[in-house]
Amino acid sequence: MSNETVHVKILDKDYQVACPAEERSALIQSAQILDERMRLIKNTGGVIGLERIAVMAALNLSHELLQAQSNHSAVGGDSATLQRMQEKIEAQLDRLSSH
């Protein structure tokens, strides 16, 4: 598996993220979702500062992930897939917080 560098823009800031080539589109889609969430939080005016906005977006997405896990568990969903999604979200947040 070879990694490639993907350029994404979140809140008008450019980030370079390495990911496997087959996950490029998922990374771009994840960055778009994060950008949308962060813009919503920023536009409410209740949270100031990029780091705080990112943390609030992460908390909201994590909460939704937990709800999805709970719903899937109730109907026999694939918890391994949800676990991988959670790990990817956490890895992206770690990368964003290091910039």
| CATH number where 48 lies | 3.30.160.880
pLDDT at 74: 62
Residue 29 in this model has a pLDDT that exceeds 80: yes
Specify the pairing of strand 13-20 against strand 3-10: antiparallel
Q: Which domain range does residue 23 map to?
A: 3-97
Residue 60 in this model has a pLDDT that exceeds 70: yes
Model confidence, pTM:
0.69
Cα 42 from Cα 22, distance rounded (Å): 32
Inter-CA distances, 55 with 24, 49, 59, 88, Å: 24, 10, 6, 15
Instruction: Count the domains in the chain.
Output: 1
Confidence of residue 75 (pLDDT cuts 50, 70, 90): low
